[in-house]
């Protein structure tokens, strides 16, 4: 460059003379980051006479770029208009890191005759291009895969190394390139490099990435600049493959194994993970849910009931990046509603051996039609059985034409059961009742007589249907029947079916389990219904009474009941043929109680029980009623309670859940069905009051 006047200032005593500062900028060294600069301080005569002074009483003080000088001088302007007082040779000025630099020139002139001036100048040097011009082209979406840049070179001496880095410790360099010319690129990473970058996210959703740009001038590094941005993990987990399988009842026929039956078939939904593009994409095992028709259960597989015919399976998951996703797909197969087979009784009657209608017939004729759900013409009836107790296997056509059950006791009402199995269910039972033979009085040819029934026992015997009474109110007991002899020890709990037994050996009687310990005697067993076909007493609502009379006439009784459970519970034996013997006199008496000083107490009364008798039970009916009857005075423990019922339809009444304060539940039994009515119960309770 040429010399440039930076500044000037006239002297105060003669403005025709001015002090001047000059500078010249030389070459710039890009690699060393320096500029050559020199400057000069002088005095110029603008016009007029040329003065001179050889005394050297004038002086110059100057400072520039860290250098300072004091110079005395003389001057002579007689033959020149400009005198250079101080000229500086070339100086190598070091620029700042960014290539910029400013220097200050400052000077003082004190001249004889002209006076004193002081001034300066701030020189800004041309910036030296230091780093390449780099502009990142970030897209904060990892999925977009756009991590480009634009770079240009300030000079042909420039080059650069570009690196895309993750961790600042230098262990994650995903891409690098050396450039010596300008370049613009959108997506520089290869598939493998992009995969490495994506997997470096691990399970985080935000990761800082940095472009590192190291600039070189003539092969020498002048430093590195960085450009950072946060990149968002937005890559979606590839949905799993959804599949399903049918879980059928084990009893289902093979013809229907591939059908979906509402209420019977279950569907197992399975979500199977697909291969993901990157290793850092997975779903924790406890973050899977699978569903049928929108009902989700935990796990990548789950089993569901089929409740309707439109089926949609689905899955929901939360991946390791805490992103929740879901999918659903329809099941092509249709679910079929299933209904059990039906039986419609066309005819049910007693007939004789010739097949003619006969109210006293010992055969029963049954005619019925069976309906079933065809299930896409794959279902059918595979088994039909009919009988009373034991069953005969017949065909649907035989049942439709009519089937005869032979040797049916006319003295009892019977339940006719028809068992039907189709290809789905095998436990279908349809029951109908056939009444006993209708007879008022029967007289057989061998002297056998039946009242209300046909006597099919021994010659010259009498059979009465129901309970027989003497003197209108006293039941006729069956002590006159021939008892069954028991010749060894027994367990009294095993005798719960109707019967009369004798134990003639005192030792055997006393050593028997659950014995009343009363010596030899007779055991009478009664119950509410005929349990002859039941193999064990483990049956709900089963009641039994035992009465034992020894050879001395002492009578002991106890009872057993299962209630709503199936475990028999026996009461303790108690003697019933003698009244309670008080230890001393009566202590208190009321209209419905007596207290003895010994602690014994007896109470009595009536209770109006309102109930219907309408639930089938054996050959009759019953009802169970929750009706808390309270004793007027509470006993100290559960008393012995005896009850009778005064009613035209109720034959007997049984208290249940008896406590020291009263009765919670009553069971009423009758031979005929009857609407709700008031039943009058008479009761007597014996126990202790202290």
> What value, to the nearest 5°, has the Cα angle with vertex 97 and ends 96 and 101?
20
pLDDT band per the 50, 70, 90 thresholds, residue 328:
very high
pLDDT value, residue 144: 92
Determine what percent of the chain is predicted with pLDDT higher than 70: 93
Determine what percent of the chain is predicted with pLDDT higher than 90: 62
Question: Per-residue pLDDT tens for 469-523?
Answer: 555 555 555 444 578 999 899 999 999 888 899 988 878 888 999 999 888 889 9
pLDDT band per the 50, 70, 90 thresholds, residue 583:
very low
Question: Helix, strand, coil shares of the chain as percentages rounded to 5?
Answer: 5, 55, 45
Q: Cα–Cα distance between 291 and 123 in angstroms, integer?
A: 79
pLDDT band per the 50, 70, 90 thresholds, residue 287:
very high
- Give the β-pairing of 574-575 and 82-87: unpaired
Question: Per-residue pLDDT tens for 206-237?
Answer: 999 999 999 999 899 988 999 999 999 999 99
Going across the sheet that includes 158-165, the strands are 173-179, 158-165, 206-217, 220-232
pLDDT value, residue 563: 74
The terminus-to-terminus CA distance of the chain in angstroms comes to 135
Q: Is the pLDDT of residue 202 over 60?
A: yes
Question: Per-residue pLDDT tens for 32-63?
Answer: 899 999 999 999 999 988 999 999 999 999 99
SS3 141: strand
pLDDT band per the 50, 70, 90 thresholds, residue 260:
very high
Region of poorest pLDDT, from 70-74, 167-171, 262-266, 577-581: 577-581
DSSP 467: -
pLDDT value, residue 242: 96
484 phi, psi to nearest 5 deg: -90, 125
Q: Would you list the DSSP string of 330-382?
A: E-SSPEEE----EEEEEEEEEE-TTS-B-TT-SEEEEEEEEE---TTTT--EE
The answer to whether the beta carbons of residues 518 and 492 sit under 8 Å apart is no
pLDDT value, residue 297: 96
pLDDT band per the 50, 70, 90 thresholds, residue 580:
low
Tell me the pLDDT of the chain averaged across its residues: 89
**What is the rounded average pLDDT of the residues 92-107?**
93
Q: Cα–Cα distance between 257 and 247 in angstroms, integer?
A: 9
> Which pTM value belongs to this model?
0.51
Each as own residue / partner, the long-range contacts of residues 183-192 (CB below 8 Å, 24 or more positions apart, any chain) are: 183/149, 183/150, 183/151, 184/148, 184/149, 184/150, 184/151, 185/148, 185/149, 186/137, 186/146, 186/148, 187/145, 187/146, 187/147, 187/148, 188/147, 188/148, 188/149, 188/164, 189/145, 189/147, 189/164
- 3-state SS track over 411-429: CCCEEEEEEEEECCCCCEE
Q: How far is CA 503 from the centre of its chain?
A: 64
pLDDT value, residue 588: 85
pLDDT band per the 50, 70, 90 thresholds, residue 440:
low
pLDDT band per the 50, 70, 90 thresholds, residue 20:
very high
**What is the rounded average pLDDT of the residues 110-130?**
94
pLDDT value, residue 470: 54
| Residues pairing with 161 in the sheet | 178, 214
Q: Cα–Cα distance between 517 and 204 in angstroms, integer?
A: 85
Q: How far is CA 161 from the centre of its chain?
A: 57
Q: CA nearest 157: which of 29, 1, 22, 313?
A: 29
Question: Per-residue pLDDT tens for 527-549?
Answer: 877 777 788 888 887 888 899 99
Q: Is the pLDDT of residue 345 over 70?
A: yes
Question: Per-residue pLDDT tens for 358-376?
Answer: 888 899 999 999 999 999 9
| Residues pairing with 588 in the sheet | 595
**What is the rounded average pLDDT of the residues 594-613?**
89
pLDDT band per the 50, 70, 90 thresholds, residue 649:
confident
Burial class (CB in 10 A: 0-12, 13-18, 19+), 91: middle
Structure tokens belonging to residue 408: 């049916």
The answer to whether the beta carbons of residues 50 and 17 sit under 8 Å apart is no
Type and span of the H or E element at 511 = helix 506-511
The answer to whether the beta carbons of residues 681 and 605 sit under 8 Å apart is no
Region of poorest pLDDT, from 58-62, 181-185, 272-276, 537-541: 537-541
Burial class (CB in 10 A: 0-12, 13-18, 19+), 487: exposed
pLDDT value, residue 441: 63
pLDDT value, residue 479: 42
Q: Is the pLDDT of residue 315 over 90?
A: yes
Question: Per-residue pLDDT tens for 401-423?
Answer: 999 999 998 888 899 999 999 99
Region of poorest pLDDT, from 180-184, 277-281, 628-632: 628-632
For residue 621, the tally of other CB atoms under 10 A from its CB is: 21
Q: CA nearest 105: which of 46, 26, 19?
A: 19
SS3 32: coil
């Amino acid at each position: 460059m040429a010399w440039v006047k930076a500044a000037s200032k006239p002297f105060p005593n003669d403005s025709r003379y001015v002090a001047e500062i000059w500078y010249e900028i030389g070459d710039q060294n890009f690699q060393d980051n320096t500029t050559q600069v020199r400057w000069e301080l002088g005095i110029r005569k603008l016009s007029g006479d040329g003065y001179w002074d050889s005394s050297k009483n004038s002086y110059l003080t100057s400072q520039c770029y860290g250098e300072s000088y004091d110079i005395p001088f003389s001057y002579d302007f007689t033959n020149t208009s400009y005198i250079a007082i101080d000229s500086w040779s070339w100086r190598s000025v070091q620029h700042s890191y960014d290539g910029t630099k400013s220097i200050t020139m400052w000077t003082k002139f004190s001249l004889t005759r002209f006076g004193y001036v002081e001034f300066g100048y701030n020189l800004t040097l041309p910036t030296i291009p230091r780093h390449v011009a780099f502009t990142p082209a970030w897209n904060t979406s990892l999925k977009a895969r756009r991590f480009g840049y634009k770079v240009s070179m300030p000079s042909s001496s420039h080059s650069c190394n570009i690196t895309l880095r993750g961790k600042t410790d230098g262990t994650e360099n995903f891409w690098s390139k050396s450039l010596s010319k300008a370049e613009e690129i959108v997506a520089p990473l290869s598939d493998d490099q992009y995969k490495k970058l994506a997997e470096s996210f691990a399970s985080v959703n935000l990761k800082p990435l940095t472009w590192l740009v190291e600039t070189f001038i003539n092969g020498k590094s002048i430093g590195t600049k960085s450009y950072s941005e946060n990149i968002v993990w937005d890559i979606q987990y590839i949905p799993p493959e959804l599949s399903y399988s049918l879980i059928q009842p084990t009893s289902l026929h093979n013809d229907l194994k591939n059908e979906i039956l509402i209420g019977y078939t279950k569907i197992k939904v399975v979500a199977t993970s697909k291969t993901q593009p990157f290793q850092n994409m997975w779903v924790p095992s406890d973050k899977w849910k699978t569903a049928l028709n929108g009902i989700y259960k935990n796990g990548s597989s789950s089993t569901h009931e089929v409740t309707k015919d439109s089926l949609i399976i689905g899955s929901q998951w939360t991946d390791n990046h805490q992103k929740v996703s879901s999918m659903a797909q329809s099941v092509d197969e249709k679910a079929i509603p299933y209904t059990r087979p039906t039986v419609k009784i066309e005819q049910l009657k007693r007939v004789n051996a010739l097949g003619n209608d006969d109210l006293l017939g010992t055969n029963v004729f049954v005619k019925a039609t069976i309906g079933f759900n065809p299930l896409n013409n794959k279902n059918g009836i595979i088994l039909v059985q009919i009988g009373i107790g034991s069953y005969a296997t017949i065909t649907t056509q035989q049942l439709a034409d009519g089937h005869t059950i032979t040797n049916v006791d006319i003295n009892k009402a019977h339940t006719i059961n028809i068992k039907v199995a189709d290809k789905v269910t095998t436990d279908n039972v349809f029951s109908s009742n056939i009444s006993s033979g209708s007879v008022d009085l029967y007289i057989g040819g061998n002297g056998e007589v039946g009242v209300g029934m046909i006597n099919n026992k021994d010659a010259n015997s009498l059979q009465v249907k129901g309970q027989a009474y003497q003197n209108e109110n006293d039941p006729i007991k069956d002590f006159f029947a021939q008892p069954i002899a028991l010749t060894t020890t027994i367990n009294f709990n095993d005798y719960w079916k109707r019967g009369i037994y004798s134990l003639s050996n005192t030792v055997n009687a006393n050593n028997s389990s659950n014995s009343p310990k009363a010596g030899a005697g007779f055991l009478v067993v009664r119950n509410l219904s005929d349990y002859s076909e039941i193999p064990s007493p483990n049956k709900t609502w089963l009641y039994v009474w035992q009465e034992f009379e020894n050879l001395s006439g002492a009578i002991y009784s106890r009872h057993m009941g299962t209630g709503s459970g199936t475990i028999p519970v026996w009461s303790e034996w108690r003697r019933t043929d003698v009244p309670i013997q008080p230890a001393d006199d009566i202590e208190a008496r009321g209209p419905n109680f007596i207290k003895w000083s010994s602690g014994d107490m007896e109470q009595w009364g009536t209770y109006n029980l309102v109930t219907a008798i309408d639930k089938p039970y054996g050959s009759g009916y019953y009802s169970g009623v929750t009706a808390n009857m309270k004793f007027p005075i509470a006993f100290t423990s559960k008393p012995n309670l005896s009850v009778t019922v005064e009613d035209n339809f109720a034959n007997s009444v049984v208290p249940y859940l008896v406590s020291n304060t009263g009765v919670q539940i009553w069971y009423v039994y009758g031979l005929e069905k009857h609407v709700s009515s008031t039943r009058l119960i008479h009761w007597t309770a014996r126990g202790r009051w202290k």
